[in-house]
Structure 1
Amino acid sequence: MMRNLTFLEVGENELSGTLPTSHFNLSSLLILECIGNQLHGELPTNIGFTIPSLKMLNLASNNFTGLIPITLLNHTALGFIAFGYNSFTGRVPYDFRNFHNLNWLDIAHNYLEGDINFIATLVNCSQLDTLQLGPNHISAKLPESVANLSTSLESFLIVDTPISGEIPKGITNLNNLELLSLGGCKLTGSLPQDFGKLSKLVVLHLYSNELKGRIPSSLSNLTLLSELSLKENLLEGSIPPSLGNCQSLLYLNLSYNELNGTLGNELFEGPASFIELYLHHNHLEGSLPSTMSKQGRLEILKLSNNKFSGVIPDGLRYCSNLQNLFMDGNSFHGNIPSSLSSLAGLQQVDFSQNNLSGPIPAFFSKFPNLYYLNLSYNNFEGRVPTSSLFANESAVFVAGNSRLCGGIKQLQLPKCNENKSRKKINLIIICSLVGLVATAIGGVGIYLSCTKNKKTPLLRGSMIGNVTMKVSYDMLLKATAGFSSENLIGTGSFGSVFKGILDGKTVAVKVLNLQRHGASKSFIAECNTLRNVRHRNLLGIITACSSIDFQRNDFRALVYEFMPHGSLDKWLSGVDGNMSLAQRVDVAIDVAQALSYLHHECETPIVHCDLKPSNILLDNDMVAHVGDFGLARILTQPRHPNQSSTIGIRGTIGYAAPEYGLGSEPSTSGDVYSYGILLLELITGKSPTASMFNDGYNLHEHAEAALPDQVLQIVDPSLEEDNLTEEAEDPRVVQDELQRRVECVTAVISVGVSCSNHLPQERMKIVDTISRLQSARDNLLNARNRRNLPARGARG
């Protein structure tokens, strides 16, 4: 009703719902700003005609969907357009040539499509200072017209967007740029050699492209540069020592390239004062310069997987703020300097895969914040401490050090007072294990293609028939002894599960708590999903009960086949016992076959949406069954994995696919992501929400970093299921068994990493996982069959 209203700002609140259409009829409105709320819905198509005077339209960081109205191009007086962090789809508005007052255009973090050549229409926007275009689905080559954008441009951002081509040489004409981010694209070619012209640059992100050539030495002219990320490219040559002259440089990431040569003293003795330095996964060599001691502000230092040699510099003690120190996968030798005892702020330390020797310093047990210490595959000797950090087997890794003894029993090291003959036997076994890690690199990742129409072979376990029992509330009351606490076997999000005897058959009765929001919807979803679905690896509903006979309140329950060995999460935590490697691979195959059936063999694809260990149940033969379909979605039509959704995040934190957090619709690729995390948890024994996974470090990265030759460092310690020396005196049999285990573990972790890829389109197809895992299991069981050991069966 405020016809003269010119300014409406409601940003950074918790407003929800849709924008009232009447707001778009306020003809006097100059500024409409709603950033950072929970608004949704689509914009009216006639927005370009109803608010003719609009100069600022800021709808960023909401949940808007649909198309950006083409009539918006009538608002040529607009100076500020911000649609970032929403779920807009369709084509990018493509013609901005008449927007002479435009200074801010942000359409990043949407699902927009089209050709990036529309940038050419922005050349006339002489006041443009901020241009943010990605992530989106915009494609084509980065046009040369970028070089003709306004010299007023301060921020230019296109990330995680499939644009290709080379970086235009003329981009250095944009001499007022402060932020240039073109990371996560498909750019090729080399870096412009005159990047140093961009003297006002503060942030330069060109990570995750296919850039080649050398790092321009002219970057040393960028005295204001604070962040430089060139990781995950194909850059070669040495690191320009002159980068140390960038006096404001705090964050330098050159990891995952083809860089070589040594680290010059100049890199660390100049005015640059690094806080985070990532040089891992290159071909750098030589010893570390003594000038590294001048980096007193350094918090993260990653030098992993290079060719560094020499001793660990004593000068690291002066890096008093150091929290994460990764030097694994190099050729460092000598002792760990006692001077490092001053680095009390350390949280993660990895010295594995080097040639270090001497005793394990006791000072590690005194660091209050240290939660990860990896000393595996070195030449350490002597007694392993047992106090503090060393009492936690999930925090300390010492495998592959043949002269260590003591420690907690979970580390499975020999006692320090054992007789010489026993030590000799252990030495042979451990040395064999070290050799196998080196030889396993070329023998893993077996791949057998499986066509979509190929029948999945039957496994053990029976399939519930299409039998529907008619039950009443009184029958279930009697079957569970009045829903007594003695028969309570579990609780979930929407109810409790009781064990009962119904018609002579042991069943599990899931009683819905209708006071919980969403419980009725969950009941309907599970009934609709599994009413006509039958598969040996799906938990079968025997019947569903819905009545209004109990205290005039609705009563709803689902009756399932009873799973005597409970849920998978209890086994992984050790509550119900330990599972062998063969059993875990069998479970992985069972679950994959269930998902393959839901995704590809049902008349209409079904997405589970909540795959996790607590929803995997084990029958009497340890055959896995996928249960709990309360969040399942029947796909009535094919959906793109990035298609937007208004239903909110589906699934459980840690297992839910990352695109769900951005509002994407449930998809089969989302289930594949959850399955990948499940595989990694099966082998590592670590939950994706474990305390060690924080600040962007997750289970996927933890597993990926161990491939292909460090997998034994991350496997669940309980997987050492057999005492090989007691069952086979021939060392060759022991070695063969160990090698097959390494190959099997590596294959499963490889599949898990592929399935849990951040990008949906890069995840492995579920039908392909089955053949990979079956091959790994068969290879493992070849040795087991020769020794007549069982493949299935519970171990308490």
Structure 2
Amino acid sequence: MLTAHFWPLFQESTVVAQEVVPYETHEFTFAEIVAATDYFGPHTVIESARSVYKGRLRDGRVVAVKRITDRQSDSTKRKFHSELDILPQLRHKHIVRLLGSCVTATKDKRLLTNPQQKKKRLLSWWRKEQQEPEWLTVYEYTENGTLFHHLHPDQGSSELSSVTVPWKTRIDVLLGVSRAIEHMHCHANPPIIHRDINTQNILLDANWVPHVSGFGLSLVCDKAMSEEFEMTCPVVGTIGYIDPEYMTRGHVKLTSDVYALGIMMLEVLTGRKVIQEDEQGAIYLKSFAVPVIEAGNIRGLLDTRPVPEPTPGQLRALEHVAQTAR
């Protein structure tokens, strides 16, 4: 079980079971999503590369909408269907909440279901667009973006956040992510392998609570879960976080996610990117951090940005996190 890797640093699996949050998903009409995002206006764009928009539903809920069109790749469409299959099985407080979806090949039919006063405006807008199939997913909105953004702000930025300042928040984020992974591995039936645990897939809400996202590459374990469970499949994921055994042999296991979490723990402790370039080439975080940890120089490992000096108690906790990551 995942807890075997983290005990006593992380709490028992009974806590994870208590953090399950039941909710229902909804099939949205295209018209509802268009109205919520103000016709996918440029001012609603959250992430242009992934076609993610901010919206507000009629009941007042703020949401994030991911939009996939027929022009996008087959792999992108497969990720859409993977999330639709997997996320409804994972209703944990530290896993992003899928509120619903919309799949439409003929959007004019969807538009006709809207109230009469909106129909003319929507149809006028739609005639200006290329008529093609679309796949849309609607998620809860997380106000504070990704963990990656806070650890690695844009060059020249002096931005500090509640993630980069207090050490306690950094460790709380890791605890939340670990519980989400334990839920996927030990409480979901069948178990789920995420395959792309990284800081860009950790979303932070208004209270800096972490939510694991990015389930487009995830796999369902269709056999009884054990430490020996593995599958042979094409290698996918984010370079730097991928389990070396999976990278070289194509064998992915539940522990592949544990490896990625270990890399993320080093990233949170050091504030360094997983791969950095210098004159000699690529420097992998693991190659830098593990020798420092093994030498017992935990202070030499920690992020040097302006954060409060850790107290003796915090330093002991950070050393425990570092040893667990190693």
Same topology, TM > 0.5: yes
> Contact conserved, 2:104 with 2:135, CA < 8 A, in 1?
yes
- The 5-angstrom pairing of residues 561-710 of structure 1 reads 561-574=140-153, 577-578=160-161, 579=163, 580-637=166-223, 638=225, 645=232, 647-691=233-277, 698-707=284-293, 709-710=296-297
Q: Deviations over 1:467-505 (max 9, x none)?
A: 22231112111111111121111145xx31100001211
> Contact conserved, 2:195 with 2:219, CA < 8 A, in 1?
yes
Aligned to 1:448: 8
Counterpart-to-counterpart distance in 1, 2:209 and 2:220: 25
Q: Deviations over 1:257-277 (max 9, x none)?
A: xxxxxxxxxxxxxxxxxxxxx
- CA apart distance, 1:465: 3.9
Counterpart-to-counterpart distance in 2, 1:635 and 1:526: 15
Counterpart-to-counterpart distance in 2, 1:685 and 1:449: 21
For residue 215 of structure 2, give the secondary structure of its aligned residue in structure 1: coil
> Contact conserved, 1:470 with 1:543, CA < 8 A, in 2?
yes
> Contact conserved, 1:657 with 1:674, CA < 8 A, in 2?
yes
Counterpart-to-counterpart distance in 2, 1:518 and 1:673: 25
Matched AA of 1:743: R
| Structure with the larger helix share | 2
1:502 aligned to 54, 57, 62, which one?
57
Matched AA of 1:675: L
Aligned to 2:316: 743
- The 5-angstrom pairing of residues 45-194 of structure 1 reads none
For residue 133 of structure 2, give the secondary structure of its aligned residue in structure 1: strand
Identity %: 25
Cα 1:573–1:651 shift into 2, 3 Å: same
Counterpart-to-counterpart distance in 2, 1:466 and 1:718: 40
Matched AA of 1:518: S
- CA apart distance, 1:525: 0.6
Counterpart-to-counterpart distance in 2, 1:640 and 1:458: 24
Matched AA of 1:531: P
For residue 104 of structure 2, give the secondary structure of its aligned residue in structure 1: strand
- CA apart distance, 1:670: 0.6
- CA apart distance, 1:454: 3.9
Aligned to 1:556: 135
Alignment of 1:468 with 2:25, yes or no, is yes
Cα 1:711–1:480 shift into 2, 3 Å: same
Counterpart-to-counterpart distance in 2, 1:451 and 1:718: 29
> Contact conserved, 1:473 with 1:549, CA < 8 A, in 2?
no
Counterpart-to-counterpart distance in 1, 2:265 and 2:215: 20
Cα root mean square deviation, aligned: 2.7
TM-score (norm 1): 0.34
Counterpart-to-counterpart distance in 2, 1:468 and 1:625: 17
Cα 1:505–1:522 shift into 2, 3 Å: same
- CA apart distance, 1:695: 7.0
Counterpart-to-counterpart distance in 2, 1:639 and 1:626: 23
For residue 246 of structure 2, give the secondary structure of its aligned residue in structure 1: helix
Cα 1:510–1:603 shift into 2, 3 Å: same
Aligned to 2:300: 713
Matched AA of 1:617: L
> Contact conserved, 1:513 with 1:519, CA < 8 A, in 2?
no
> Contact conserved, 2:105 with 2:134, CA < 8 A, in 1?
yes
Cα 1:697–1:519 shift into 2, 3 Å: closer
- CA apart distance, 1:698: 2.8
1:484 aligned to 6, 30, 41, which one?
41
Matched AA of 2:42: S
Cα 1:640–1:511 shift into 2, 3 Å: same
> Contact conserved, 1:644 with 1:663, CA < 8 A, in 2?
no
> Contact conserved, 1:611 with 1:655, CA < 8 A, in 2?
yes
> Contact conserved, 1:684 with 1:716, CA < 8 A, in 2?
yes
Q: Deviations over 1:685-713 (max 9, x none)?
A: 11111115977963223222112531212
> Contact conserved, 1:468 with 1:542, CA < 8 A, in 2?
yes
> Contact conserved, 1:656 with 1:670, CA < 8 A, in 2?
yes
For residue 500 of structure 1, give the secondary structure of its aligned residue in structure 2: strand
Matched AA of 1:517: D
1:522 aligned to 79, 93, 116, which one?
79
TM-score (norm 2): 0.80
- CA apart distance, 1:523: 0.8
> Contact conserved, 1:631 with 1:651, CA < 8 A, in 2?
yes
Cα 1:644–1:635 shift into 2, 3 Å: closer
Matched AA of 1:540: R
Cα 1:695–1:640 shift into 2, 3 Å: farther
Aligned to 1:402: none
- CA apart distance, 1:680: 0.4
- CA apart distance, 1:744: 2.2
- The 5-angstrom pairing of residues 212-231 of structure 1 reads none
Counterpart-to-counterpart distance in 2, 1:562 and 1:457: 24
Aligned length in residues: 288
- CA apart distance, 1:721: 3.0
Higher relative contact order at CA 8 Å, sep ≥6: structure 1 or structure 2?
Answer: 2
Aligned to 2:119: none
For residue 16 of structure 2, give the secondary structure of its aligned residue in structure 1: coil
Counterpart-to-counterpart distance in 2, 1:617 and 1:453: 22
Q: Which has the larger radius of gyration?
A: 1
- CA apart distance, 1:620: 1.2
Counterpart-to-counterpart distance in 2, 1:542 and 1:712: 43
More displaced 10-residue stretch of structure 1: 580-589 or 565-574: 565-574
- CA apart distance, 1:531: 2.0
Flag structure 2 segments of 5+ consecutive residues without an equivalent. Answer: 1-5, 108-129
Counterpart-to-counterpart distance in 1, 2:10 and 2:259: 20
Counterpart-to-counterpart distance in 2, 1:449 and 1:622: 21
- CA apart distance, 1:449: 8.2
Matched AA of 1:716: D
- CA apart distance, 1:549: 2.1
Cα 1:453–1:681 shift into 2, 3 Å: closer
> Contact conserved, 1:507 with 1:559, CA < 8 A, in 2?
yes
Counterpart-to-counterpart distance in 1, 2:297 and 2:51: 42
Aligned to 2:94: 537
Counterpart-to-counterpart distance in 2, 1:693 and 1:644: 38
- CA apart distance, 1:745: 2.0
- CA apart distance, 1:622: 0.6
Cα 1:525–1:470 shift into 2, 3 Å: closer
Matched AA of 2:54: K
Cα 1:747–1:693 shift into 2, 3 Å: farther
> Contact conserved, 2:275 with 2:282, CA < 8 A, in 1?
no
For residue 712 of structure 1, give the secondary structure of its aligned residue in structure 2: coil
Counterpart-to-counterpart distance in 2, 1:687 and 1:650: 19
Matched AA of 1:519: T
- CA apart distance, 1:669: 0.7
Matched AA of 2:271: G
Cα 1:751–1:692 shift into 2, 3 Å: farther
- CA apart distance, 1:663: 3.5
- CA apart distance, 1:447: 5.7
